Amino acid sequence: MARSSQGLRRVSPGVLQGPTQVPGVLRIGRPANDNFRPRSAALRVVLLALAAAALLIAAVNWLS
């Protein structure tokens, strides 16, 4: 391994204790949760109707 002709290089204390910047929050582009879409009212009605029909069929089968 090649050695430097300057001897040992020492890091000055100012380099180690220099001012550090705290990175801020960068908001670039789309938000991470943009794939959430609320369900439409029509879909809720259809799902509620299917659930009610399933309960009605179960109740009729249980009573007979």
**pLDDT single digits (tens) 3-51:** 666 666 665 555 555 566 777 776 777 666 666 677 788 999 999 999 9
Amino acid at 49: A
**pTM given for the model:** 0.42
| Higher pLDDT among residues 29 and 58, named by residue | 58
Task: Put residue 43 in one of left, alpha, beta given phi > 0 → left and psi -120 to 50 → alpha.
Answer: alpha
Sign of the Cα torsion 10, 12, 15, 16 reads: positive
